Amino acid sequence: MVESEIDPITGLPKELNVYEVLERETATKIKIYTKKSKFNKLVTVVEGLSGEELKKVAKELKNRLSCGGTDKNGVIELQGDHKEAAKKILLALGYHESNIDVL
């Protein structure tokens, strides 16, 4: 039997990733808006994420929305107008609704 490591702060097994869930719930404000890029094409921009979380969320959004995009300079850019759909996906990923602003 493999014994799991216990987190000294929470007293819960480390596999539960409690800090990851707490980080999502108490994250900084996430802003979702659209802007026009070259040739008057719409781009959906998601701001407010950073580090490894930025890459994970960008990949998930691109997969679920079936669109192209990039994550650079602390911003996720998705091809097309996906404001409301992006918000629903972020909610499904565990982000709190009060931390997401759709402009």
- Render pLDDT for 49-66 as a digit per residue (tens, 0 to 9): 887 888 888 999 999 999
Tokens in use for 16?
A: 């539960």
Whole-prediction pTM value?
0.72
Do 49 and 30 form a contact (C-beta atoms < 8 A)? yes
| Residue 4 DSSP label | P
Contact 58, 76 (CB under 8 A): yes
**Going from the N-terminus, what domains does the chain have, and what CATH number goes with each?**
29-102 (3.30.780.10)
Query: What is the separation, in whole angstroms, between the first and last Cα of the chain?
Result: 51
Q: What is the pLDDT of residue 1?
A: 46
**pLDDT score, position 38:** 83
pLDDT along the chain (103 residues), means of 10: 64 64 64 90 90 87 92 90 91 85 88
